[in-house]
Amino acid sequence: MPVKVNLDLITRDQSGNVVDVKHSEGHSFVQGFIFMLCYVLQCSYGGAGSQSNIKDTGGTVRAVLYGAGNMSTCMACEGPTNQQLYGIVVGSGSTAPAYGDYQLTTLIANGSGSGQLNYEATTNSSPVNTSGNTMAFTITRTFINNSGATITVNEVGMICSSQYGSGTQGYFLILHDLSTIAVAASNTLTVVYSISTTT
């Protein structure tokens, strides 16, 4: 069975009560994912190298580094608090995702101004046996609406961080999905990607 992706969007009020839940099956791996996976699998102990043909979120093709000295930042997705460069990201665009996507259509910026959401840290769980021969793990990020008005999220993605060139940190989109949910002022949105595989 191929790798399966599920996407959950959950809004909560200031007391932590669930307001709305949107669940969908992701159809979301873009070409950045397969390039990144290829680079990880090409690593050899003590070796190093680079591959090109992958666009960063600014649309520039980069030669991503792999091997010795680079693996600590290869395909890193745990973006920190108040950081929109990598990890799970959200946007307001409604254009259908395409395999060649390298950025969200309209990224919602981190912050508390008009149309912005405060980004909490992205976290990854450890893989667990969910049932039978299925193993799964989750990637989660919470967003806080301190803008003073309702914000509608229409798209979700995941950006990983990897080094390119002479050690510069780059950012590369690997997942992109459409899912719509309204986040009222002072409420939170939690986005959960569940990735599983079954033998």
Q: What is the pLDDT of residues 97-107, one digit of tens each?
A: 999 999 999 99
Hey, what's the torsion of the CAs at 106, 110, 112, 116, to 10 degrees?
10
pLDDT digits (tens, 9 = 90+) for 161-199: 988 876 788 899 999 999 999 999 999 999 999 999 988
Instruction: Inform me whether the pLDDT recorded for 72 exceeds 70.
Output: no
Burial class (CB in 10 A: 0-12, 13-18, 19+), 142: buried
Q: Which amino acid is at 40?
A: V
Q: How would residue 37 be classed by pLDDT, with cut points 50, 70 and 90?
A: confident
pLDDT at 110: 98
Q: How would residue 66 be classed by pLDDT, with cut points 50, 70 and 90?
A: low
pLDDT top residue among 1 and 179: 179
Q: How would residue 44 be classed by pLDDT, with cut points 50, 70 and 90?
A: low
Task: Give the global pTM.
Answer: 0.91
Q: Tell me how far CA of residue 85 lies from CA of 10, 11, 15, 45, 81, in angstroms.
A: 22, 23, 29, 29, 11
Query: Which range of residues forms the domain containing residue 24?
Result: 4-198
Instruction: Inform me whether the pLDDT recorded for 119 exceeds 70.
Output: yes
Number of domains in the chain: 1
The Cα diameter of the chain in Å comes to 52
pLDDT at 53: 75
Instruction: Inform me whether the pLDDT recorded for 68 exceeds 60.
Output: no
Which range is least confidently modeled, 12-16, 67-71, 157-161?
Answer: 67-71
pLDDT top residue among 2 and 14: 14
Burial class (CB in 10 A: 0-12, 13-18, 19+), 124: middle
Instruction: Inform me whether the pLDDT recorded for 25 exceeds 60.
Output: yes
Rounded mean pLDDT of the chain? 89
pLDDT at 179: 96
The pLDDT of 75-81, averaged and rounded, is 91
